[in-house]
Amino acid sequence: MWYVYFSLYCKESNLLVPTPLPAGSNVVVLQREEEEWQELKDRFIKEGLEYDNLNTEKRLLHVWRWLVDAESNLKSLRKTIDKLREQQHEDLEEMECYVGHIKELANKRAGKNITKTVLLRIQRGLCKLLLRNRVDPRNLY
């Protein structure tokens, strides 16, 4: 009987230590390998290739091409993600600038409103004072 090993990381020694799988685990590993082989055959069929009619070298060549294509797609996607991150950063800076401008306008408007409010309160206070003293405001002009 043969044993299947997997590696555990040992913190003390900073090494990977081969460790036998528990009894019966090799069956699980073999089942997974069979599933992977079936997935590979299915991929060949999906690509329009007849797995059983290709020799090992041709199969390996197709798998290699898939790998190279996947790497190319990964590089392209990474570049796209980098561009999107850069664009997002620029958009955020633009948004911060816009928000700052809006705040500045709001503060100016608030300042004007405060001034108007103060003036209206002064006017109201003067009117009350004049009315208490029974002075007609129209006679002041």
pLDDT, position 133: 81
d(CA 7, CA 118): 78
In a domain? residue 125: no
pLDDT digits (tens, 9 = 90+) for 62-97: 999 999 999 999 999 999 999 999 999 999 999 999
In a domain? residue 82: yes
pTM above 0.85, yes or no: no
pLDDT, position 26: 60
In a domain? residue 126: no
In a domain? residue 28: yes
In this prediction, residue 105 has a pLDDT band, given cuts at 50, 70 and 90, of very high
d(CA 43, CA 51): 9
Mean pLDDT (whole number) for 111-121? 89
In a domain? residue 75: yes
In a domain? residue 99: yes
Number of domains comprising the chain:
1
15-20/5-10 β-pairing: antiparallel
Write out the residue range of the structural domain in which residue 11 sits: 5-107
* Per-residue pLDDT at 140 exceeds 70: no
What's the chain's average pLDDT? 83
For the stretch 42-70, what's the b/e string if a residue is b when 16 or more beta carbons lie within 10 angstroms of its beta carbon?
A: eebeeeeeebeeeeeeeeeebeeeeeeee
